[in-house]
A and B are shown apart, each in its own frame.
Chain A
Amino acid sequence: MTPTPTASDGLGTLAGKAFAAYRAGERERLSELVDLVTPVLWNAARSQGGAPATCEDAIQTAFLQLVDRAESINEPAAVLGWLVVVVKREVWRLARGSRREFGVEEVPEAPAQQLDPEAQSILSERQRVLWKHVSTLSPRCQELLRVIAFADRPDYAAIAQSLGMPVGSIGPTRGRCLQKLRTTLGSDPGWAV
């Protein structure tokens, strides 16, 4: 019983275990779930272009829905993906105002990632170079890479699917987005130090 650290214990697996334990009556395990997945959800929310306050509300709403519907969620192990879907939908709903509800399939695609001028000014030289290259990718690739970067390798495929990407767009194979990032960084003599 020596589990390999990367094989099965991705973020999604840990989140699924905590949620299953919560459903089984270990109330305090929900805190663990919140701590585990909040960074991924924050980046999933922010990558939709929502204002910080909107993103905070969306994440909070997603968790409240999770608690509310805890018993009716079919696959506790897939809780991370469930939360990503709800967060993404909530950001768009809040951004558009509560005039009308719309389903997952109507959620528009994420815009190109933006960083505030202030945020850009605090980047290191290397981060500035990386940001320049990330900006050349398609908006969908930017969104995907930003969100999966906060998860673990076993989670990539499920997260990509939750974001509405086609099956096979990433994990276990590299996929086009990671390949493009690799190519553009590889072609920059200033990156390969």
Chain B
Amino acid sequence: MTSHTDAIDARDLANLGQVRDLFAHADPVPGDLAERIKFAITVEALHAEVAELMDSALLVTRGTDAKVEPTPTDSVTFTAASVSLMVSAGPDDSDDTDDRVRVDGWVTVPGAQVEAVTTEGSSSVVSDANGRFVLDDLPHGPVHFVVTDPGNEDMRPVITPTIQI
């Protein structure tokens, strides 16, 4: 006979493993829950303004129907009260394998810092006098952008919803 005062043994751990499988199977964690939590945390931590996605020509479709002709890349526009941001993604020229992505963008604030947050971390760049910027060597997958203006303390950071590149 076993008692509740015995130490937990391998059989108990196996039983718990089965309980875990049962609930993981019957009531799984929503697939995007962790990503949505991280996004909410970022917005909160930055006291950021969330930009709206204006143009729903999402980049998700790229790559699957590649023709011989280089197809024009889709572009996406985000708008917030203080800034608008347009980005378009295409293959990175420095790499033949199509594994990496280059993002060409334009932001209404010259000298703004644009940070791309991807699954690999983040990389940032400062827009030129015309508001243009290039972020290259990005991975495929989800990305969101954070725009800050180092020259303007009053501007709240602006964060975009996540898109696929």
Contact = CB atoms under 8 A, between A and B. Distances in A.
By DSSP majority rule, is chain A's interface helix, strand, loop, or mixed?
Answer: helix
A149 B20 contact: yes
A127 B12 contact: no
B40 A115 contact: no
B118 to A, nearest CB: 12
B139 to A, nearest CB: 15
A122 B11 contact: no
B67 interface: no
Interface string B28-56: 01100110111011001100000000000
B26 A120 contact: yes
B29 A42 contact: yes
Given A38-B29, A63-B40, A182 B3 contact: no
Interface residues of B, number: 36
B37 A119 contact: no
Nearest to B122: A28
Given A130-B19, A145-B19, A149-B20, A59 B25 contact: no
Given A39-B29, A149-B23, A182-B11, A67 B44 contact: yes
Interface in A40-66: 42-43, 46, 52, 56, 59-60, 63-64
Contacts of A8: none
A173 interface: yes
A68 interface: yes
Interface residues of A, number: 51
Given A63-B37, A63-B40, A182 B16 contact: no
A78 B40 CA distance: 23
Contact of A182 (B12, B23, B38, B121): B12
B27 interface: yes
Interface of B: 2-9, 11-13, 15-27, 29-30, 33-34, 36-38, 40-41, 44-45, 121
